[in-house]
Amino acid sequence: MLSFRPEAWRLLLVVTLMLLVTGCVSRPSEEVLTPRVLKQPLAQEVTVLAATNRKLRSKDDGPLGRRSDKLSFERYRFSVPANRPAASLVYPTVPADPRRQFVVTDHRDLTPSQFSAEIERTVDDDGTVAVFVHGYNYSHQEALFRTAQLGADAETLPPPILFSWPSQASLTGYVADKDEALASRTELTRLLVLISRTRGVKHIVLFAHSMGSLLAIEAVRQLELENQSSTTRKLDIVLAAADIDVDLFLSQLNDIGRLPRPITLLVSKQDRVLGVSSFLGRERPRVGMSDVDDARVVAVAEAHNLRLVDITGISDNDGLGHDRYVNLAKSAGEIKREYESHSETADNAGILVFDAVGHLLTRPPSATAAPYLATTEVNTATYR
């Protein structure tokens, strides 16, 4: 009779839970990206710009979604239903029902110069653009629709530009996705440089989720090592549920150095997906599960110019506590005002907390953190 260690049983139970939750949701095929002609007027229109290093069937031979050695640029227009709940996303059927479904109404492939021209037209009044980097287990179409949802909910801000990397879009593809994410850092750096050099762009919010956070921080590290400070000094980095080993992350920060703006971490102690990732990494803690009530964590945040935002109080949509970030888009204006109320210095670091209804609260760093600063040391030799 087979026997399992308690740790193996725990892993089996969590993976089974993930399979049950995700198995209840049908995943969209490529057909949802086919533009539809709608008879009734659009309730809300959202334009999404996308850059991807996936192979797109309309351009490349081979299976859709595999890695390409070049960047492709696209523009999609979406019809978004009126009066829908915030953070909700319903894929189109045949025929489409725009009263309750997101529907693609237009698609165009772009050249790099056309892509830059589109950014010029959509850049915020203060020169701000946003880039969204999706996480593990995302297809190209899922990433595009998620970006449209984020853009629709954040009505006061321009929709983010999607960087779509070649995730396997499979629950069992975790290791392959990690390889693909790391292999995509050069393409992401190219995108960030292109946006930075676009006329009118003064500030780039780089927003990444889960494994996309590993890709994002690696791209920033590469930019710094390549002396591309003209790009990195425009960045405001936000990492949601970051699936990064803590020691690796601190090593990356040491290579990057101190940026003009603090790196923001959206964290939650109740994230089952990151719990599985930690288990697979031999119980090595993940950045996205940082405890804002731990004085040692606060001390490290202060030492490395990090802003920790506890979003545990925000509801999730996946039953696993890993996608709480999608419910923050409706608060984008409030978040932006909060950030702008501080200077772009280390004083901007600290602890922020969201309550259960999505209101932003401010909490000062713990006074007990200071003694820990003198004893905090990170051995980064292994990661260089």
pLDDT tens per residue across span 122-151:
898 889 999 999 999 999 999 999 999 999
Task: Report yes or no on 304 lying in a domain.
Answer: yes
For the ranges 7-21, 250-264, 366-380, which has the lowest average pLDDT? Answer: 366-380
Alpha helices in the chain (DSSP H): 6-23, 112-122, 140-153, 174-183, 185-196, 211-225, 229-232, 246-256, 272-280, 295-303, 332-340, 370-373
Measure the CA–CA gap between 56 and 26, rounded to whole angstroms.
22
Domain span at 56:
6-383
Task: Report yes or no on 237 lying in a domain.
Answer: yes
Whole-number pLDDT of residue 315: 77
**Which residue has better confidence, 357 or 165?**
165
The string of DSSP letters for 6-37 reads HHHHHHHHHHHHHHHHHHTSPPP-GGGGS---
Q: What is the pLDDT of residues 102-115, one digit of tens each?
A: 999 999 999 999 99
Whole-number pLDDT of residue 373: 25
**Which residue has better confidence, 211 or 376?**
211
Whole-number pLDDT of residue 105: 96
Task: Report yes or no on 1 lying in a domain.
Answer: no
Task: Report yes or no on 123 lying in a domain.
Answer: yes
Whole-number pLDDT of residue 206: 96
**Which residue has better confidence, 253 or 283?**
253
How far lies 86's CA from each of 60, 151, 154, 332, in Å?
Answer: 36, 11, 10, 12
Q: Which tokens hold the place of 211?
A: 């494994």
Angle (nearest 5°) at CA 111 between 108 and 116: 100
What's the domain count of the chain?
1
CATH number at residue 78: 3.40.50.1820
Task: Report yes or no on 20 lying in a domain.
Answer: yes
Measure the CA–CA gap between 98 and 150, rounded to whole angstroms.
18
DSSP symbol at 329: G
Whole-number pLDDT of residue 2: 40
Give 67's pLDDT tier (boundaries 50, 70, 90).
confident
Whole-number pLDDT of residue 225: 96
Mean of the per-residue pLDDT values for the chain? 82
For the ranges 98-102, 153-157, 164-168, 369-373, which has the lowest average pLDDT? Answer: 369-373
Across 141-178, b (16+ Cβ under 10 Å) vs e yields: bbbbbbbbbbbbbbeebbbbbbbbbbbbbeeeebeebb
Task: Report yes or no on 317 lying in a domain.
Answer: yes
Q: What percent of the chain has pLDDT over 90?
A: 53
- Judge whether residue 83 has pLDDT over 80: yes
Task: Report yes or no on 326 lying in a domain.
Answer: yes
Q: What is the pLDDT of residues 31-43, one digit of tens each?
A: 999 999 998 877 8
**Which residue has better confidence, 135 or 322?**
135
Task: Report yes or no on 150 lying in a domain.
Answer: yes
- Judge whether residue 62 has pLDDT over 90: no
Whole-number pLDDT of residue 331: 63
Angle of the 174-183 helix axis to the 185-196 helix axis, nearest 10: 40
How far lies 281's CA from each of 183, 184, 369, in Å?
Answer: 20, 22, 28
